[in-house]
Chains A and B, each alone.
Chain A
């Protein structure tokens, strides 16, 4: 459909331009020569000849001037014999050249002097060799035409296609390397979860590929939690343009672990750890952090996480309970962070998680490249450790009272919002129903209204007529 429309438009526009061209020339002729009807046909033929040569002269003035000077002496003897028959023709062609060049090609005075004074006789015959010379010069110009656009774009496309396949394979290898390290037999997830993979049964595939950059790994069957979903979001290595963009704007391969906790396993905990800037952003944007928790200042008198990280929590007590000695020693402490913590991005535990599932633990790490998967071992070990820790953790009474009040308030507000939303929906429905009824009534009564109006008009006509008669009488 789009094809034909556009093609039609193009053909139309081309036709119009061609017609306007020929008309302009014809008019210019008729202006100058009123009584020469016999020569109108010949003038038009000459028009075509003259149409052919100027476009070439416009861009390639140099070769033509040479060729013209070469052809000048030759046609001289030939047209000399033809002058009586062609004298009538010469005037219109000379003047046609004049009209042509003055109106159309104002920037080409160079071409005029040689043809004009060089006897109008030559204008007839050079029109024949001119097409040949124009053909020659066109061949010359074709070879001089540059193909830079085609070469550049074609080579880019070829490189793009090659990069697609290599990038795709690179991403797959990275994902498989991760799975080989952490999800196959004897690995940490195999020891922690009974069901691994996204399919059903024994031989289910471990990874699910959603697009060239997203890989998912699922595990289920553990105490305290319903399941774990690991999503790997890799760089767009398969897309050349994104790859070039990522040279300028740096990007990382990321893996996100989402653990769905059981309702009875998780107490009222809202807690997050991230790098300083990211933590501030998280605290402002993520709904539950913003509402319930705040940045926890580094407590004095005990070991704490590295300065680069900050902790968000509802209370210092909870934060202290969750940042245990073991964790500090392994990952977050001063010494350990240098070696093992570089790939840590954030972690976020919440029982009021915005989204489908309420009680979730979310871990985000950066993926090292395929050969250095072992760097992540300690970070991945954090996942089952915290599942057990949160699963067993019970708040103290003080902490519980604080959290309880905050959550009750939040629940009440949520309930009120629900009520308001329901009321608004009901009101909208009522208004719609009213509108429907009114329209129906209006349609039904439209006929009655019309009849009334017709009756009124008839009455007015009757009233009006005697008046008119009276005035006429007067």
Chain B
């Protein structure tokens, strides 16, 4: 198309004088997409702890892993994810090392 323009120096479109360095645009907290997987992880973790349901605790761990994988901003997101992880691990510990669930065999 217009590749010819770029080869000859007379028609060089470049203007080093007008070059501006890159400035990262700040993104406000509200614009960020909602961390659904972290939220689901917390829900499953709480359900696993309260109802002593093993599958729920395992699913909480899986969704925590997904949330960790998708984490963009280390400082802000790590707090929620670590909270979800705590719930999930607590659920697993109470499920496996706690007293047997009444009514069913663990």
Contact = CB atoms under 8 A, between A and B. Distances in A.
A194 B15 contact: yes
A387 B5 CA distance: 13
Given A59-B105, A326-B1, A222 B14 contact: yes
29 contacts: A3-B90, A6-B90, A10-B94, A145-B105, A149-B58, A153-B62, A156-B62, A157-B61, A188-B6, A193-B14, A195-B21, A198-B22, A199-B22, A200-B21, A211-B72, A220-B19, A220-B22, A221-B14, A221-B15, A221-B19, A227-B19, A227-B22, A229-B22, A238-B69, A326-B1, A381-B2, A384-B6, A385-B1, A388-B13
A164 B24 CA distance: 27
Interface of B is mostly: helix
Nearest to A148: B55
- Name the interface size band of chain A: 35 or more
Nearest to A236: B70
A385 to B, nearest CB: 5
Given A153-B62, A200-B21, A326-B1, A223 B90 contact: no
A414 interface: no
Given A238-B69, A381-B1, A381-B3, A223 B15 contact: yes
B97 to A, nearest CB: 12
Interface in B1-56: 1-3, 5-7, 13-22, 24-25, 37, 49, 54-55
B80 interface: no
Given A10-B98, A149-B55, A220-B20, A210 B72 contact: yes
A265 to B, nearest CB: 11
A212 to B, nearest CB: 7
Contacts of B37: 241
Interface of B: 1-3, 5-7, 13-22, 24-25, 37, 49, 54-55, 58-59, 61-62, 65-66, 69-70, 72, 83, 86-87, 90, 94, 98-99, 102, 105
A429 B76 CA distance: 34
Nearest to A198: B22
Interface in A126-172: 141, 145, 149-150, 153, 156-157, 160-161, 164
Interface of A is mostly: helix
Contact of B19 (A2, A161, A194, A241): A194
Nearest to B68: A164
A192 B62 contact: no
A465 B55 CA distance: 77
Nearest to A168: B69
Contact of B13 (A6, A211, A218, A384): A384
Contacts of A59: 105
Contacts of B62: 153, 156-157, 160, 241
A212 B70 contact: yes
